[in-house]
Chains A and B, each alone.
Chain A
Amino acid sequence: MKKISYSFFIVVFLSSLLSAQKLSVIETVKITDKSQGEFYFPKLSPDGSRLFFTSAGFKGLWYYDMQTKKVVPFTEETGAGYEFAFSNDGKSVYYRVDNFDKSGLRTSQTMVQKNIQTKQLQVLETANELSAPRMLLSDKLAYTSGSRIMMKATGAGLKKSLPQNIANDAVAYIEDMNIVVYANGSRKVIAPLGKANYIWPSVSPDGTRLLFRVAGKGSYISDLDGNILVELGRASAPKWSPDGKWIAYMVDRDNGTEVTGSDIYAVSADGQQRIQLTSTDGNAEMYPEWSSDGKSIVYHSNDGSIYLMKLQNQ
């Protein structure tokens, strides 16, 4: 009897150790404030040397040079700040530009690559409508044009479209209310919770799980076939940590018209641990993004300031 209870305690102890991943905030640094301009939607370059962000309405891109501590303009193009992506080698930024006619009406969209150092610009495609770019782990660029998925090799062969069937990467988009998963060369339309409004879909870094939010219900992790694995609760703009162990998200509050507050949280990918990373009354912290080493989260506050939060991730 005594022996059994002893081993039982060991099991409990071990399992708590196993799931006891730790995530805590070491410090939070305000990177930009109003005197430098009002900036939103920050994202760190893969090597962490530059912090890119956009202005209201996703107009243009700027970056904050972590060494010189200066804000440098990068592009003025309209729409460039919306879900821009870095090449895996960190040398280029991919973004989508909205093209307008003289009167201000949108006419088309262009996918471009811009080299951070040389500022050299390369146009990939102009079409009536393109999705935002996604960088895949296999160093391929993906986006949709109409209902076609475009997978492009980066580097020298950038302009060359790859046949979809050789693409082993997984990427997810929303098309006509449903989630569309492109994986292992096939296109699959899934609706994990049936007919609903899906948003913010993303495939886990290991390419096996899908994270998304459903209007009026919450956020979920499913497998790539749409079988629900974990229910995450009310998590807006959720983002996978690079190691796939955590999801950072915001809990934003509003009265139906105005944002009344927002805080950033992280939840373990098994849904077991939830950590509040910001807690302020007067400030609405929004749209967290992980650094590629998983040791920082950047975000903007509602007044247009950019923050960098250093984390201890054990």
Chain B
Amino acid sequence: MKKQLLAVLFLLFSASFLFGQSLSGIKIYINPGHGGYTSNDRHILETDYWESEGNLTRGLFLRDILQKLGATVIMSRVTNTEDDDIQPTSYIAARANTYNPDYFHSIHSNATGTSTRVNYTLLLFQGTTTSPTYPLAKTMAGYIGNEILGAHRTTTRDIAGDFTFYNSTGPYLGVFVGLKMPGTLSESSFHDYIPESWRLRNQAYLKHEAWAIAKAFLAYWGKPPLTTGIIAGILRDPDLGVSYTSLTLQDAKKPVNSIKVTLKPADALNTMEPVVYEGDNLNNGFFMFDELTPGQYKLYYEAPGYFRDSSTVTVQASKNTFADKDLLSTVPPFVVSVSPASGDSIYPGKEDIVISFSRAMNKASVESAISVSPKAPLTFTWSSEKNLTVATAGLPFMTDFTLTIGAGAQEKSHGLSLDGNKDGVSGDIYTCSFRTRLQDLSAPVLETVYPSDNMENVEPMPLINISFNEQINTSTASGRIKLVRNSDQKVLALKANYLPVDGQKSVFCFFPVDTLMENESYSLIISSGIEDLYKNPTSSEKVYTFKTGSKLPTMVYIDKFESGFTANWVSPLTYSSGITSAGTNFASSSIYRFYGSSSSMLINYSWKKSASSWLLREPLIGGAPKNVTFSNSGILQAYIFGDGSNNKFRFCVADGSDFKGLEVSPWYTINWIGWRLLSWDMQREGTGTWDGNTSSNGILDGQLKFDSFQLSYIPGNPESGFICLDNLRAAKDSYMGVEEGDEDLRPSNYSLAQNYPNPFNPSTTLSYKLPEKSFVSLKVFDLLGREVATLVNSEQGAGSYKVEFNASNIPSGIYLYMLRTDNFQETKKMVLLK
């Protein structure tokens, strides 16, 4: 009897020793956030994760652990039903207040609600970050944050007061609004980060978080830490990637499903029964063993289709020991890709052969298994254990080759030999063939140049476009393309944009940094020595001389295609014919953008060759651009990035009193590559014809609005391609000053011109230019410095200004006029001769 009692006592003692019953007498309120399965319960479609469900699971695990530690735990909910869903957060706080606990904790996971992916831990408490309502809640936020960071291995942890975090003046989080005890809210990790979302579906992963929070509670009450430890880890396949965004190299590997992990004590004499963890098939690869006595353990990993593996780990009290493992597949290695593809041509020494294997390879075995026929010397470079580059410098030109990788090529870890035909069985060879190209001994040839030689009336901000018949070594072009003002031989600054096109051609687009002067002669000088990729240089200098126009036309912008423009345009699929829907679309492009702008409109087109007619119509349907009207006697312009396809482009405008009529420009052949300003001079060129369109009568009737860009196909030309469009505008035929906000035509410098006429009687004109908005004062003084007149004293936008000065009330003499702005001051003399 006595013996029995002793045994019972011992059991009681050891149980309390294990957990210490250290939270006895402490009351904790746990609030698993949200509840139910409705729109505010945070569902992730891809993983079928419900935050409401994950929060509850964590909460219940936490309750069990805390109760085991002796605490009294009250839950705001223990189910995940519709009834749980309609609790307002005020109710949760009120209920916590009623139970009068020592601490409140609310469990959540986070989401960005945007396409940005992050995975950090966030802990919130009531108050400002520097002045929490309950100082100890901030301390606790730190404890929980650190523990969750350690358990979930999120990127960072952040703690903040809710007033600060939400920039509110008072309690912001619903559960904090009416709460009368120290409390925290954990956003443990991000459930819209897909690798994390899959992990949050794993029960052991959620329990691991519960342990983390429980450890924080022990620290909060200054209790001894847990005497047991945890082993956790993730099993992944290092040779397979995931299709979703990953923030770490580890998360980029595919987690292994249906894992089995067996835990045994490392000490063979220890009689502890092996513990088996069987994983789920929810793409997380996670496993965990908890409540382990400190010491050494052996872990044995298994999964269908993978080689067994093991590790030895040491468990420490109250610590997480991670035992992640990359499991290696039993599938034999194969060739994933060869670049260039089999059958392609190669330029020896310029284009090497890159072979990607499915697995890390035994390099020596691969190198000795590779050969080419006819025999030629090969050299090898490994960019990684899976990627081999075979150098082609030793191959002769104009020869057909077969490359063979013998079955002797083996993967690194288990010596599985190559599966050349990828049928899942080792031991066969892989072959591919290619032909070496003709040696290139010709210099690059200039194909088109804009502005062309002797061109007149060139716009003052021209797009200089130079295309070559092949790709250029851009470093050899540096300093060899110049724009010179002929009057003073000044070399003007240019911004360049180089694009190789289809590997066959290339184009330089230059943008003068400053607007060119009116009525001036310029020369574009292309020096010799520009090389192609095979070191063949151009041998002669070419000079293209052009003259700018005399005046700057006023522009009415229809669309600059900046942020958000796509809302005003409709898909080209809507009103087009003879296209394939898969390859035809429009988008905002930040790559092909006109200098000085952040985006342009990209239209990808793909023609259906079998159709009998082809018309792609890209209509403007709404927004401010749709309301812009312009004259039928002006010029409609757009910068167009051509693809050199020789397919056709035209503008279409709406006319008539109600803008129900439609008229088109003539077709323009897209025979250029890169940016070009395309202008439709409506009066001179007239309209084109739109066959079968009854809204079109060939006359531009009254004021116009923009309707659409149109493209068409000419059989024999490329069936697919793209164009980009930017700065669609109408140039008026009347010439005036510069409009404010017209970036392209804004003066580049401050200037104060000499008055005209000079000497004068009684009036003269003073002109000045402002490159930016500024406060402007323009005053006239006599030679003694006395102010005679204030002509301007106000804020003005960027632009050119003219002011008339009437001196009928002052005597003859020399006067000074001074322009003063925020950043500029200049004084000039003028002579009044009565």
Chain A residues in the interface with B (C-beta under 8 A): 34, 38, 40-41, 56-59, 79, 81-83, 98, 103-106, 109, 129-131, 173-174, 197, 199-200, 213, 215-217, 234, 236-237, 250, 252-259, 262, 286-287, 302-304
Chain B residues near A173: list those with CB within 8 A.
98
Whether A57 lies near B126 (C-beta < 8 A) is yes
Is the CB–CB distance between A40 and B170 below 8 Å?
A: yes
Assess whether B40 is in contact with A256, with CB atoms less than 8 Å apart.
yes
Q: Chain B residues near A250: list those with CB within 8 A.
A: 90
Which residue of A34, A56, A103, A106 is within 8 Å of B126 (Cβ)? Answer: A56
A59 to chain B, nearest CB (A): 7
Please give me the residue from chain B that is nearest to A80 by CB atom: B180
State the interface size on chain B (CB cutoff 8 A).
Answer: 53
Q: Is B740 an interface residue (CB 8 A)?
A: no
Of B97, B126, B136, B171, the residue contacting A105 (CB under 8 A) is: B136
29 A-B contact pairs sorted by A residue (CB < 8 Å): A38-B170, A56-B163, A57-B127, A98-B180, A104-B136, A105-B102, A129-B27, A173-B98, A174-B95, A197-B77, A199-B94, A215-B91, A215-B95, A216-B85, A216-B86, A217-B83, A234-B86, A236-B91, A236-B94, A256-B33, A256-B42, A256-B174, A257-B89, A257-B173, A259-B177, A286-B177, A302-B177, A303-B169, A304-B169
Minimum C-beta distance from A249 to chain B (A): 11
Question: If A106-B102, A197-B95, A199-B95 touch, does A236 touch B90 (CB 8 Å cutoff)?
Answer: yes
Q: Please give the distance in Å from A190's CB to the nearest CB on chain B.
A: 16
Residues on the B chain within 8 Å of A215, using CB: 77, 83-84, 87, 91, 95
B88 at the interface (CB under 8 A from A): yes
Asked if A56 contacts B127 (CB within 8 A), the reply is: yes
**B86: A residues at CB distance < 8 A:** 216, 234
- By the criterion CB–CB under 8 Å, are A82 and B97 in contact? yes
Total number of A-B contacts with CB less than 8 angstroms? 129
Bound state CA distance, A174 and B99, in angstroms?
8
B100 within 8 A of A: yes
Q: Does B179 contact A (CB under 8 A)?
A: yes
Instruction: Indicate the member of B42, B181, B221 with the most A CB atoms within 10 Å.
Output: B181
Give Cα A183–Cα B607 distance, bound, in whole angstroms. Answer: 86
Complex contacts, A105 vs chain B, CB 8 Å = 102, 136, 220-222
Given contacts A236-B91, A237-B94, contact A255 B170 (CB under 8 A): no
Interface centre among B83, B90, B168 (most CB of A within 10 A): B90
B180 touches A57 (CB 8 A): yes
Q: For the complex, is B21 an interface residue (Cβ under 8 Å from A)?
A: no
Complex contacts, A58 vs chain B, CB 8 Å: 180
In chain B, residues 55-98, which have Cβ atoms closer than 8 Å to a Cβ of chain A?
77, 81-91, 94-95, 97-98
How long is the Cα–Cα vector from A250 to B220 in the complex, in angstroms? 35
Q: Do B91 and A213 touch across chains, with their CB atoms under 8 A apart? A: yes
Question: CA separation between A40 and B487, bound complex, in Å?
Answer: 77
Once A56-B126, A82-B97 are accepted as A-B contacts, the answer to whether A103 and B222 lie under 8 Å apart by CB is yes
Q: Which residues in A have their C-beta under 8 angstroms from that of B222?
A: 103, 105
Q: Does B659 reach chain A (CB closer than 8 Å)? A: no
B interface, CB within 8 angstroms of A? 27, 33-35, 40-42, 77, 81-91, 94-95, 97-100, 102, 108, 126-127, 133-136, 139, 163, 166, 168-174, 177-182, 185, 220-222
A216/B83 contact (C-beta < 8 A), A56-B133, A58-B180, A237-B90 known: yes
Q: Which residues of A contact B221 (CB under 8 A)?
A: 105
Measured in the bound complex, the distance between the Cα atoms of B87 and A57 in whole Å is: 21
- B33: chain A residues at CB < 8 Å are 256-257
Chain B residue numbers with a CB within 8 Å of A104 are 134-136, 139, 182
Q: A107 — nearest CB in chain B belongs to which residue? A: B102
**Chain A residues positioned under 8 Å from B91 (CB to CB):** 199, 213, 215, 236
Name the A residues within 8 Å of B84 (CB-CB).
215-216
Q: Is the beta-carbon distance between A200 and B94 smaller than 8 angstroms?
A: yes
What residues of B have a CB within 8 angstroms of the CB of A130 in the complex? 100
Q: Contact between A302 and B170 (Cβ–Cβ < 8 Å)? A: yes
A209 to chain B, nearest CB (A): 20
A254 to B88, CA, bound (A): 7
Contact of A216 with B82 in the complex, beta carbons under 8 Å: yes
B74 to chain A, nearest CB (A): 9
